[in-house]
Amino acid sequence: MKKNGISRSHLFLIELIVTILFFAFACTVALMVFGKAYELSDNASALNGAVAAVQNAAEANRLESYSDLSKPQPVHFNKDWIVTDLNEADFTLSTELKLEERPAGEMAVWTYTVVDQNQNLIYQLETKKYYPAPLANQDEVD
Amino acid sequence: MRKFKLITEHKPLDFIFILALLCLFAFGSLMSVVLAANTYKSLKESSDSNFELRTPLSYISMKVRQHDEENAISIVKKEGVDALVLEGLDGDELCQTWIYEYQGSLYEVYLEKNTTFQLEDGLAILPINGLSFSLTDNVLKVQTADHNGKTRSIAISLRTGQGGAAQ
């Protein structure tokens, strides 16, 4: 015989399904937020390391005399920002050096770029140092 | 009008299914809480590490830049601890700022030159887990560590000569 009615268990089941649907939606949002938080935290950590690495490189380059200027080599770092080789690199610091002519000397322009394994840009900085003519032409004078 | 009647009797299979669903819900809730706790823990860890590595370096770097005068920066060992000593004139008095690690904190003391003091007389600025200095070829290297032993260092090339002529 067919019964025209809703049992208690059916009511509870409907309530539970609605709750679970809501819970699933909330869980999805929460997971997305957690994922984003992880990503932001990693980015902040990488940015901190990158800034320190670039500062070290820039300070070293600042001390270079004109005759010491040479094509900079990329430096590789692991996840703890310790210098390592290319195979174990998580981050790479590339430095580009350009010499620009000025009326009374040359301007050395260094562009520091830090990228991660996937070549995503983490930090970029441009620094300049002016070499007046006597210093810039020292090699020729000598 | 068609009326619905609340039926109190139910099949055991229904009951088991609902119970299983309820268990699934409870388990999911528990997992969410555990995941949230782990995420928070991990983020806090990362944030603490960044703070411990970056803050002392920034602070010392700023202090060094402020005191970057000829022969004003040196590293002195006191009571077995390396301290960064920054000299500067305060009015007519020659004063020194000593920065060092003592009992797990970054300490600083500001006093007139040649004043006798002990490391514990300084002011604790922030907790640190390791601090070392080296000064070679006019480049000051400062290294700090976080609570996991992870280290980070910065090099500061000084604008003026230390222990020699100004550059």
**Mind listing the pLDDT tens digit for each residue in B3-46?**
655 555 556 777 788 788 889 889 988 998 998 899 899 999 99
Q: How far apart are CA B91 and CA B114, in angstroms?
A: 17
* B138 interfacial to chain A (CB closer than 8 Å): yes
**What is the Cα–Cα distance from B131 to B98, expressed in whole angstroms?**
13
Q: Do A81 and A103 form a contact (C-beta atoms < 8 A)?
A: no
Q: Which residues of A touch B32 (CB under 8 A)?
A: 27, 30
Is the separation of the CB atoms in B71 and B135 below 8 Å? no
Does B14 contact A59 at a Cβ distance shorter than 8 Å? no
* Record: contact A63-B157, CB cut-off 8 A: yes
pLDDT beneath 50: ranges in chain B: 164-167
Count of CB contacts below 8 A, A vs B?
104
Instruction: Take residue B77 and report the two structure tokens written for it.
Output: 């060992």
Complex-level ipTM beyond the 0.95 threshold: no
Question: For A87-104, how does the pLDDT look when each residue is reduced to its tens digit (9 = 90+)?
Answer: 989 999 999 999 998 888
Closest partner CB to B152 (pick from A10, A27, A52)? A52
CA distance B23 to B21: 5
CA–CA separation, B13 and A13 (whole Å): 12
What's residue B1's pLDDT?
56
CA distance B8 to chain A (A): 6
- CA distance, residue A36 to nearest chain B CA (Å): 11
- Min distance B127 CA to chain A CA atoms (Å): 19
Find, in chain B, the residue whose alpha carbon is nearest to that of A83: B152
| Packed helices B12-66 and A8-62: angle between N→C axes, nearest 10 degrees | 20
Distance (Å, rounded) from C-alpha B118 to C-alpha B122?
8
Percent of chain A with pLDDT over 90: 46
* Token pair belonging to A99: 């010499």
Residue with tokens 């000829």: B70
B3 shares contact with chain A (CB less than 8 Å): yes
Per-residue model confidence as pLDDT tens digits over A74-133: 999 998 898 999 898 999 999 999 999 888 889 999 999 999 999 999 999 999 999 987
- Closest chain A C-alpha to B69 CA, distance in angstroms: 17
